[in-house]
Structure 1
Amino acid sequence: MRKIVLLTFFVFTNLLIAQESIDSIAKKSIWSLTYKDALQLSKKEKKPLLVYFKGSDWCGPCKKLDQELFSTEKFKHFSDNYFILYEADIPFNQDLVTKERLELNKKLAKKFKVSSYPTLLVLNHKQKILGVKKGLILTEYYYPFFENYIK
């Protein structure tokens, strides 16, 4: 009987830990899709793609934008309903992203002529640019920009 109780406890505890891990991964980053997956999801869900070009470890305005806009519940709710997200991070510390992702992000920056950070691009699933927002502005001013591309 004791073995059954211990086994049940062990299984239940591991299930809780696994669920917490899944939840923490989901909450960790709303920008976790690959670019290819983001494009496919954009097509499937008929939502524009919001591409965020940033330098996570060197760009002060990017850090501020992450904290004051992208980490808010308001943005998470808004983006869940209206956008597919892709983060094109180009950090100085190249250990912060995979080599493949860094190379892709640099290619995307070149393709879309991104030379300042932060830059937000709104694309359709065919990679046509629908809108561009460069630099840091007051957080609430991003929403009218976003709303131009969800109607």
Structure 2
Amino acid sequence: MKMISALVISFLLSFASEWKTDFASAKQEATQSHKYILLNFSGSDWCVPCIRMKKDVFETNLFQNFANEKLVLVRADFPRLSKNKLSAQQTEHNEALAEKYNPEGKFPFTLLIDSNGKVIKAWDGYTNTSPEDFIAQINKITNAQ
């Protein structure tokens, strides 16, 4: 029984939305698939609110299912520990994204962006938002567009 459960979980996770690290390819995908981009600035190994938001919202099945249908997910990570260090190219890319979309260096900072790169909504920080509430906020905006 445990083996079957593990296989089912593994199968379901294979359909989970993947977080991209290249904004240009995310824009291209968003344009082709008529989706919005959700850009998340995170400090994955030092920012406790970032870690909680990832666990409590972004990694839930409810959010993953929603994201598969409506979003292209992009994470700009800024880890501090040397063991989590990103490549120089990825660090440069993330810094360029931060310069354009997060010049104040807020963490977590999440943006809903259209396929043209226009910011539609910004979430500054994490205030224990449930996946349902976060999805409802996105739906309210995207359904009005």
Q: Report the TM range for the smaller structure's normalisation.
A: 0.7 to 0.9
Relative to structure 1, is the Cα distance of residues 105 and 33 closer, same or farther in structure 2, using a 3 angstrom cutoff? closer
| Equivalent residues of 1:48, 1:149 under 8 A apart | no
Give, in angstroms, the shift of residue 33 of structure 1: 4.9
For 1:71-86, what aligned pairs fall within 5 Å after superposition?
71-86=59-74
How many pairs were matched up?
130
Q: Aligned partners of 1:131 and 1:143: how far apart in 2?
A: 13
Give, in angstroms, the shift of residue 36 of structure 1: 1.5
| Residue 116 of structure 2 is aligned to residue 116 of structure 1 | no
| Residue 141 of structure 2 is aligned to residue 149 of structure 1 | yes
Aligned to 2:23: 35
| Equivalent residues of 2:42, 2:50 under 8 A apart | yes
Q: TM-score, normalised by structure 2?
A: 0.79
Q: Aligned partners of 1:47 and 1:128: how far apart in 2?
A: 13
Aligned to 1:5: none
| Equivalent residues of 2:16, 2:68 under 8 A apart | no
Relative to structure 1, is the Cα distance of residues 30 and 90 closer, same or farther in structure 2, using a 3 angstrom cutoff? same
Code of the aligned partner of 1:103: E
Structure number with bigger Rg: 1
Q: Aligned partners of 2:41 and 2:12: how far apart in 1?
A: 24
Give, in angstroms, the shift of residue 97 of structure 1: 2.4
For 1:3-82, what aligned pairs fall within 5 Å after superposition?
26=14, 30-82=18-70
Deviation track 1:105-131 (CA, whole Å, cap 9, x = no partner) reads: 111111112421001111112211111
Q: TM-score, normalised by structure 1?
A: 0.76
Partner of residue 101 from structure 1, selected from 84, 90, 93 = 90
Alignment gaps of 5+ in structure 1: 1-22
Give, in angstroms, the shift of residue 24 of structure 1: 10
* RMSD of Structure 2 on Structure 1 (CA): 2.4
| Equivalent residues of 1:42, 1:84 under 8 A apart | yes
| Equivalent residues of 2:20, 2:26 under 8 A apart | no
SS at match of 1:117: coil
Alignment gaps of 5+ in structure 2: 1-10
Runs of 4+ in structure 1 off by over 3 angstroms are: 23-29
Give, in angstroms, the shift of residue 150 of structure 1: 2.3
